[in-house]
Structure 1
Amino acid sequence: MSWAADPQDLAVLKGVKVTGDLGKEPTVTLPATPFTVNGFTTLLVQDGTGAPITSGEIVSVQEVAVSGADGSTLGSTWSTGAQTLPAGNSNMAADLNTVLLSAHVGARILVAVPSSTQGGTAAPTTSVYVIDVIDAYTVPTKATGEPVAPAAGLPTVTLSDSGEPSLTPVSGAAPTTLVAQPLIKGAGPAVQTGQTLTVQYTGWLWDGTKFDSSWSTGSPATFKLDTGSVIAGWVEGLTGQTIGSQVLLVIPPDKGYGANAQGTIPANSTLVFVVDILDAR
């Protein structure tokens, strides 16, 4: 079964050979190089025998990426650890959502993604991904547990009925050391460095200016809790917190982005996050 806007692209993608058992890293052989498609194209190579994937689930996947230019391997999560996709999320490509929501755990999916070299005359290139669905699971929508009275002098957090936080900043100088203040104490096990976390979060500057929020995307964020994936303040502040907790993080520049501006975040900014820890595995 397939979902592709262009039948010609689909026919090209069907020429890609994927070998190897499900649950093990596959080998990808392109029919010819350079391999190109005109648009985002997906193909369900083999459906799984597990539970059906439903909208709102977190989908754990292993993937291999191959260059259409020469067939070389661009990267593989089989050596770095599984990644996650939010099934049904509106920010994900519609074709990939469609194939995921029509498949079962254990499925193998081919995806071809074209791209162009901006500002040059190089021919468009295509990356080919083989995605194996390892698991699919649901997580709570917000932190659940016992409320904790925060220490004095910290910004005030107010929650909507859905659990989305808003922040009232405080006057005065920001802390110069990391603050990790639980606001809700969850009953789950303690988070460990290196785990993959699923969280809801909102981030503000110390003056209360909001710069980012997973709540606005329609699904929680997932990431590996290590300094290769997130800033040091998250790693240090969330390690040891329990699943189900909501944590207020006040992160000084040396544990955030330091002297480097990051998008709308100015250099040397103190960052404030409210993080709901929904899952860790």
Structure 2
Amino acid sequence: MKLRTSAAATALALAAALTLTACADDSGDGATPSASASSSAAPETPAPTKEDVAALESVKVEGEAGKEPKLSFKAPLEVSTATSRVIDEGDGAELAEGMKVTIDFVGYLGADGKSQGSTWAQKAPQSFVLGDASYGVLTEPLQGQKVGSRVLVAFPSQDAQGQAVTAVNLIEVTDAKKIPTRAEGEAVEPEKGLPTVTLDDSGKPSVEIPKGYEAPKDLVSQPLIKGDGAKVKEGQTITAQYTGWTLDGKSFDSSWERGTPASFPIAQGQVIDGWVKGLAGQTVGSQVLLVIPAEQAYGAEKSDDNELAGQPLVFVVDILDAQ
């Protein structure tokens, strides 16, 4: 999922700061409901070198758990690959892939040792699904840790000008919870003539486009399962399972195929307009069929840079959580 990029505002972004997901830009999991889709092959992350480990060992962490810590180190500090070090072991629930994890963190720039801001200062802890490829830099360091753990993570990244830098972050895990893997609620009879959605035993959807089906002029947002959770509000971040198809029935992106739900801010400029207008107002636990006109997807005009531009799209979205 290429929703979050180093140049875009993200769920884990700090004002005028690097993001924890910056080095996940090469995760390359295909086209997405982001405002601009792209794709690339997913490289295998190399193991840290002795020099990387030594660099992270040199970082001094001051301050107690639950408050913003101060990091100090001799600049410039550089690592060649994502490198982590456990500062404190927690005693809460153990983290596992698929769990919704909430963290506080502070970010420093390896080049000059200056703080780039923190969630403590903003009073804005951030959450994501452990295992989501968009947050791949956090999966290995946090998996198997427990709530209450503090983990130091450094990784190669880019600044706002695209220059190579090393980001140094102290992450404190403040909460973790299991979330459903599929929509749960009351089945809804869809309007006639829409694409037909079939679910396998796991809840993974497939879609059949009716013969001669014409792209609608207006957005279609059809609940298939009505969840009993709170209504999603524009500006919230949702956690969802989803698959997207073109009108010829070809799937171009699917969280089901990756095996982990994904998180998206339901906000203009962060996801395509059809997601914002089609999912805001739906309830958590719902499954929603979206048929999105091209102008509310990746634009009405075709583009050599984006094969989805100029095409209406079909999505089936299971809303698992919202915050």
Q: TM-score, normalised on structure 2?
A: 0.74
Question: Take 2:224 and 2:158, find their aligned partners in 1: how far apart are those partners?
Answer: 46
Question: Take 2:112 and 2:71, find their aligned partners in 1: how far apart are those partners?
Answer: 12
Matches within 5 A, 1:233-272: 233-258=274-299, 259=301, 261=303, 265-272=307-314
Aligned to 1:41: 83
Aligned to 2:265: 224
Question: Are residues 86 and 271 of structure 1, via their aligned partners in 2, closer, same or farther at CA, if it must alter by over 3 Å?
Answer: same
Q: Any stretches of 5+ residues in structure 2 without a counterpart?
A: 1-46
Question: Take 1:228 and 1:81, find their aligned partners in 2: how far apart are those partners?
Answer: 21
What is the DSSP-based 3-state SS (H/G/I as helix, E as strand, rest coil) of the residue aligned with 1:174?
coil
Question: Are residues 234 and 115 of structure 1, via their aligned partners in 2, closer, same or farther at CA, if it must alter by over 3 Å?
Answer: closer
Question: Take 2:307 and 2:113, find their aligned partners in 1: how far apart are those partners?
Answer: 39
Query: By how many angstroms is 1:89 displaced?
Result: 6.3
Letter in 1 for 2:314: V
Query: By how many angstroms is 1:218 displaced?
Result: 1.2
Aligned to 1:209: 250
Question: Are residues 70 and 90 of structure 1, via their aligned partners in 2, closer, same or farther at CA, if it must alter by over 3 Å?
Answer: closer
Matches within 5 A, 1:23-172: 23-29=66-72, 31-74=73-116, 76-77=118-119, 79=122, 81-87=124-130, 96-114=138-156, 125-170=165-210, 171-172=212-213
Letter in 1 for 2:99: E
Question: Are residues 265 and 102 of structure 1, via their aligned partners in 2, closer, same or farther at CA, if it must alter by over 3 Å?
Answer: same
Matches within 5 A, 1:179-190: 179-190=220-231
Letter in 1 for 2:204: E
- Number of aligned residues: 272
Question: Are residues 212 and 135 of structure 1, via their aligned partners in 2, closer, same or farther at CA, if it must alter by over 3 Å?
Answer: same
Q: Any stretches of 5+ residues in structure 1 without a counterpart?
A: none
Letter in 1 for 2:242: Y
Radius of gyration: which is bigger?
1
**Larger deviation, residues 237-246 vs 4-13:** 4-13
CA deviations on 1:60-111 (whole Å, 9 max, x unpaired) are: 22333332222344565554944434335688759x5454233221222111
Letter in 2 for 1:9: D
Letter in 2 for 1:58: K
Equivalent pair of 2:48/2:80 in contact (CA under 8 Å): no
Equivalent pair of 2:255/2:262 in contact (CA under 8 Å): yes
Equivalent pair of 2:129/2:239 in contact (CA under 8 Å): no
Query: By how many angstroms is 1:141 displaced?
Result: 1.2
**Larger deviation, residues 143-152 vs 50-59:** 50-59
Equivalent pair of 1:211/1:264 in contact (CA under 8 Å): no
Name the % identity: 48
Equivalent pair of 1:62/1:134 in contact (CA under 8 Å): yes
The alignment yields a C-alpha RMSD, in angstroms, of 2.9
Query: By how many angstroms is 1:18 displaced?
Result: 3.1
Moved over 6 A (4+): 89-92
Aligned to 1:9: 52
Q: TM-score, normalised on structure 1?
A: 0.84
What is the DSSP-based 3-state SS (H/G/I as helix, E as strand, rest coil) of the residue aligned with 2:197?
strand
Letter in 1 for 2:195: P
What is the DSSP-based 3-state SS (H/G/I as helix, E as strand, rest coil) of the residue aligned with 1:176?
coil
